[in-house]
Every structure is written in C-alpha cells, then in structure tokens.
Amino acid sequence: MVRLITHNLLACHVKGCTSNNFPLEFKDVQVELRDAEFNSDFLRGFIPKIEWKALVDAARQVGNTSLPLELPEMLDDDFLKSLHHVLLEIHVEEGSMTCPNCHHVYPISNGIPNMLLAEHEIG
C-alpha cells in the first residue's frame, strides 16, 4: 500500500487548491511488489474511472513501463494482466506525495498516507 489504484483516486484537497491538484508526485519512494488476486470484472468496471495518463506516469515513476500510452480499445488478457499488476501489485510503502499546484507534502509511512490537512488549509 499505497497502491497505484489509490494514487489514481487521490487529489490534493487543500482549501482553494482546485486545479492542477492531481496527480500527486511521488518522492523518495520505497516500493514493494505483492501478489493480488486477478479479477477481470473488477478491472473492466474500474477502467472508466482511471485517469490514464496519470496512471502511466505514476507507473513510470516507480519503474514500470508496461502500460501503453493510450488506453487500448481492445481489452485483451495480456493488457488486463499488466493493468492488474500496475493497479494492485505495486505498493509504495514509504516516501511522500506532493501536490503539483500548492506543494503540500503528504507523507507515507508503513504504507499509510497521511492526507490530513493543517488547520490553515481547511475550508
């Protein structure tokens, strides 16, 4: 954990930070790979939610280049296997995520990101 599926769903939520606040940039990450169960229905259902470019970039930041730059129209098994691996099997255990807009740093320790805001950052 933080898996890339989660990274693809988290945006900076500091008060007033509403544009260019996604994707958060990984810094100083420690990555672990762990097997997860493959479920093609789950993947197919989730694909419409993915911000594709953000996922491809995040995968590259952690050293995985298996995804095509564009989401393919044909979702064959090989593609779903790579997608499964990228979304669910890459865990960022330590490091941080920085907002590209306001530069708030969200630290990650033992796989749990701290997304709490300081009090001047809340709405």
Contact set with other proteins (CB under 8 A): 1-3, 5-6, 8-13, 22, 34-37, 39, 41-42, 45-46, 49, 51, 88, 96, 104-123
Residue from the set 2, 83, 99, 108 that interacts with Zn ion by CB under 5 A:
99
Amino acid sitting at position 22: F
Binding site partner of 75, from other proteins, Zn ion, none, Cβ cut-off 5-8 A by kind? none
Least distance from C-beta 10 to Zn ion, angstroms?
11
Q: Residue 92: which H helix or E strand, with range?
A: strand 90-98
The residues near 1 (Cβ < 8 Å, ≥ 6 apart) are 91, 92, 93, 111, 112
Can residue 97 be called a binding residue for Zn ion (CB under 5 A)?
Answer: no
C-alpha span between 59 and 73 (Å, rounded): 20
- Of 10 and 36, the one with the shorter C-beta distance to Zn ion is 10
Eight-state DSSP code of residue 71: -
CB of 114 to Zn ion, least distance (A): 15
Backbone angles phi, psi at 97, to 5 degrees: -125, 130
List of residues contacting Zn ion (CB under 5 A): 12, 14, 17, 21, 99, 101-102, 104
